[in-house]
Amino acid sequence: MLVMHVTGTALLCTKSNSFIVFWACSQLVSLTTWQVGFNMALYRDTAPY
């Protein structure tokens, strides 16, 4: 679900011909990716195994 959202956002950004919009989108995607990675690492650290 989240991956589809990110992919959809990335596709929307790619279709945009405005560099500002493309930059803002790439920033958003990288931020989202970092957040997901951070949450996964946090979950892995708190996992009982």
Segment 23-42 shows an average pLDDT of: 84
Segment 7-32 shows an average pLDDT of: 75
* 8 A C-beta contact, residue 22 and residue 42: no
| Domains in the chain, number | 1
Q: Which residue has the higher pLDDT, 26 or 6?
A: 26
Segment 19-42 shows an average pLDDT of: 83
Domain range enclosing 39: 1-48
Phi, psi for 47 (deg, rounded to 5): -65, 145
Q: What is the 3-state secondary structure (H, E, C) of the chain?
A: CHHHHHHHHHHHHHHCCCHHHHHHHHHHHHHHHHHHHHHHHHHHHHCCC
What's the pLDDT at 40? 82
Segment 4-33 shows an average pLDDT of: 74
| pTM of the complete model | 0.44
What's the pLDDT at 14? 65
